Structure 1
Amino acid sequence: MDTVFPTSLLCRLDAIPDGGATAIESVAALAGESVIVDRRGDAVRAWLNVCPHAGRRLDYAPGQFLLKDELLICAVHGASFDRRDGVCVAGPCRGEHLRVLAVELRDGEVWLVPCDRP
């Protein structure tokens, strides 16, 4: 198995609004990519900030996302992604997924952790 990227600090947990999402810009471990970090209490999920439909960012302004209940909505074409697993449930890329990134919470900080591919 090959390691896709090294461990890297993304942000402090308190930098993400509880129940909200933010973008972490220019993540060095991911060759400068933007990362969406979604928070529910102490539960944190992360994805690359790239819509599988057209390869564009999902935010309508840097770090600002359209959120409705359990959905993260692409500001460009309206694709709606389930915030629990990143699956597109409506829109032009229905059935596709956001690229999930492995993260863990350590002492109030959100860390990107190595992700192995088979």
Structure 2
Amino acid sequence: MPRQGLESVNCSLIAIPVLENETPVTITPLIRGQSTPLIVIRCGESVRVYANRCPHQGRPLDYAPDRFLTKNATLVCAAHGAVFGMADGLCLQGPCRGESLTPYASLWQDGVLRVEWPDPLD
């Protein structure tokens, strides 16, 4: 189930005690007052955070909350079948081949995820 209501200005500390390898989860923190759907994926010892938005048409990658199509360390967009590498977010095949998911810098340590939000555009 998505985690709602997390408020942050510059960064967010999010308690996620268990992340199964290559099993994406969704979180929806409030970033500058707006709900921002994110995908969190553990890839070995590192954690990747991406916007839950396909670059093809901006639709969420999950077909239901916290339900993703995955295969061999890839995410598949439920809307148009674009295939993204979990470790780098690069589209490997599909209508947006060569584009990438929007990444967020993060650090996962002792069950706490710290996500850095980009500075607002002036």
TM-score after normalising by structure 1: 0.84
Q: 1:23 aligned to 2:22? A: no
Q: What is the RMSD of the two structures over their aligned residues, measured on CA atoms?
A: 1.9
1:28-77 CA-to-partner distances (Å, cap 9, x unmatched) read: 12621100000134321010000000110000110111110121100010
1:69-103 CA-to-partner distances (Å, cap 9, x unmatched) read: 12110001000001111010100000111000111
Identical aligned pairs, as a percentage? 40
TM-score after normalising by structure 2: 0.81
Q: 1:47 aligned to 2:50? A: yes
Q: How many residues align?
A: 111
Q: 1:116: how far off?
A: 6.1
Runs of 4+ with >6 A deviation: none
Structure with larger RCO (C-alpha < 8 A, sep 6+): 1
Alignment of 1:95-106 (within 5 A): 95-106=98-109
Q: 1:38 aligned to 2:37? A: no
Structure 1 residue runs of 5 or longer lacking an equivalent are none
Instruction: Identify, as 1 or 2, the structure richer in helix.
Output: 1
